[in-house]
Structure 1
Amino acid sequence: MKLLIRHETRYQFRQPVTLMAHRLMMTPRSGHDLTLLTSSLCCTPTATFHWSQDVSGNVIATANFDRPTDNLQIVGQAEVEQCAPAWPVLLIDPAAHSYPFSYAAADLRDLGALSSADAIAPRVCQWADAFVAGVPTDTLSLLKDLNAGVLGAVAYRVRDEEGTQSPEQTLEIASGSCRDIAALFIAAARHLGFGARAVSGYLFDPDPISPDGGSTHAWAEIFLPGAGWIAFDPTHRRMVAANLIAVAVGESNQRIMPVTGGYLGTPDDALSMDVVVHVTQ
């Protein structure tokens, strides 16, 4: 299916401020199940863009501004062809069918920090261990149980504050945004020995309550030999990439925020920020 995406971010300031360079990650990632047909990015006031890719292959536009302003508008638009099946056949390597398994040495080197369990809080480790009913067990069933089980411990809530809660904090307060829920799932998966990465992008809702038909979203991907990167969306207890449009992948949500930047002025100069996203057929 073809999808149209419009992502607008607006900032209002109390007085003209000098905008610093802004790092924008708003271009969908092409892959075997998603093709980027067209894309555009514009800013008001006018910006000069420098285009690059980061170590994960994400497309980055660095916007530079040449005059003070009391407002900033960033609009990204794209048309994509999304063909991810709702019920894919996952050809997992037989050696990885049963958990626990070991990644090949070459895969483990490439995964690097994406498979590191360092600094994961003991409470998160204990919570993750509870999903392992016995050893050995079926790998995909374990991941499905973990994906479905996050909402058993955490309630979804809209959270307008910037940043991501720590997985331990999300368990402690038993609530979080989609990016908080995804971060908890990723930490638990890494503790269990899986390669996992954060994904930011858009969710298309074919039966929307509001006319927007979509929103910015955060989820996770797990690397399984043979099948590759598999999408897990613990916020909706869903697996695979149907109705998901990935923009960026990385070690953590902090590395893949759609808009990052600053200004020269005082904290009181910032009056408001609004984000409006439309994802439609």
Structure 2
Amino acid sequence: MTVIYDLEHITTYRYRKPVTFGEHRAIFLPSASYGEQILSYSLTTNIPAKIRWTMDTLSNNVATITFSEPAQELSVTGWLRAEHFGIKAIAEFPLDARAIEIPVQYTPDEWLDLSRYMRPHAEDPDGCLAAWAKSFVAGDQDDTLNVLQYMMDSIRNNLTYQARETEGTQSPGETLRLKSGTCRDYAWLMIEALRRLGLACRFVSGYLYDAALDGGEVGMIGSGATHTWLQVYLPGAGWRNYDPTNQITAGFDLIPVAIARHPGQVIPLSGFWFGDAQDYLGMEVNVSIRKLGTLPEFEEGKSG
């Protein structure tokens, strides 16, 4: 089944008086993949701007926005309509024998391609992250899929989800110490822990579609908003999704937009402005995802 959806992502900044804006960088448009096909899209601003589309080193679609006028309010709206094919369960992709147990054995070519995703990025000064990671392979617990599931479940069951307005991502050590975090903190903790077990992992930024939203309800954590999770490379299965916030590994809920080695590379909208610090009044983000129907239904509606 293929789901057709509309997505709108509006970011609004407000200031006490008009300020001047520097270059901004927007990442909201999914790259071409087996799970997504873009039908149409647009990026608009409330003040005159020049928009230039490029692809970064990781093949993410990036819009560079240059503004020509000062303003008291800045609004950037990304919209797209897409076909979403969903993610099949890992059971449909049997692992190669060399991936069944940890440590996973990557080939020389895989090592060359995956090294940037295997090298730990976050510091671990007191060793708490390494110790936490190793606790999942203690004794005879070396089955790769079990270790991944246990770690994902541990994050969801033992940490408290805490929404946070401030930008940035906590260090994995801080998330363990606080025993709380956002979806990006959860994903970053699991990525850095798995890297210390020799697994190639990458950070994924995107959106979470929840069917409950179609009925005016909210079911999963982070639904109808930007969302982050991780992908792990497993020989035989390829890049597989793990969302520790909602314990999701398959289905239609995860809509990937961009991948990165670390969270700072895929901030949905980033940039700078010139003015007095006290002029900044705050930021508001509104994301809406609306299912138009499955592909056969959608085609019938268009022709009718």
- Asked whether the two chains share a fold, i.e. TM above 0.5, the reply is yes
Paired residues for 1:62-141 under 5 Å = 62-85=64-87, 87-88=89-90, 89-117=92-120, 119-121=122-124, 122-135=127-140, 137-141=142-146
Paired residues for 1:161-172 under 5 Å = 161-172=166-177
Whether the 8 Å CA contact 1:100–1:135 is kept in 2: the answer is no
Separation (CA, whole Å) in 1 of partners of 2:103 and 2:218: 43
Give the TM-score of the pair, scaled to structure 2: 0.88
**94-103 or 270-279, which moves further after superposition?**
94-103
1:120 shift after superposition = 4.1
Paired residues for 1:241-252 under 5 Å = 242-252=252-262
1:159 paired residue among 161, 164, 189: 164
Which sections of structure 1, spanning at least 5 residues, go unmatched? none
**10-19 or 202-211, which moves further after superposition?**
202-211
Task: Say whether 1:260 aligns with 2:270.
Answer: yes
Give the TM-score of the pair, scaled to structure 1: 0.95
1:34 shift after superposition = 1.6
The structure with the largest helix share of the pair is 2
Separation (CA, whole Å) in 1 of partners of 2:87 and 2:117: 26
Task: Say whether 1:177 aligns with 2:190.
Answer: no
Whether the 8 Å CA contact 2:122–2:171 is kept in 1: the answer is no
Letter in 2 for 1:174: K
**11-20 or 24-33, which moves further after superposition?**
24-33
Whether the 8 Å CA contact 1:49–1:63 is kept in 2: the answer is yes
Whether the 8 Å CA contact 1:206–1:213 is kept in 2: the answer is no
Q: Tell me the alpha carbon deviations over residues 198-232 of structure 1, each in whole angstroms, 9 at most, x when there is no partner.
A: 01110001113259961110100001112111110
Match of 1:54 in 2: 56
Which sections of structure 2, spanning at least 5 residues, go unmatched? 292-304
1:76 shift after superposition = 0.4
Q: 1:213 to 1:232 in 2, by over 3 A?
A: closer
Separation (CA, whole Å) in 2 of partners of 1:91 and 1:61: 38
Whether the 8 Å CA contact 1:147–1:232 is kept in 2: the answer is yes
- Aligned with 2:137: secondary structure? coil
Q: Runs (4+) of structure 1 moved beyond 2 Å? A: 85-88, 117-120, 133-137, 208-213
Separation (CA, whole Å) in 2 of partners of 1:72 and 1:55: 28
Question: Aligned-residue CA RMSD in angstroms?
Answer: 1.8
Q: 1:119 to 1:6 in 2, by over 3 A?
A: closer
Paired residues for 1:149-228 under 5 Å = 149-208=154-213, 209-210=217-218, 214-228=224-238
Q: 1:259 to 1:118 in 2, by over 3 A?
A: closer
1:118 shift after superposition = 5.8
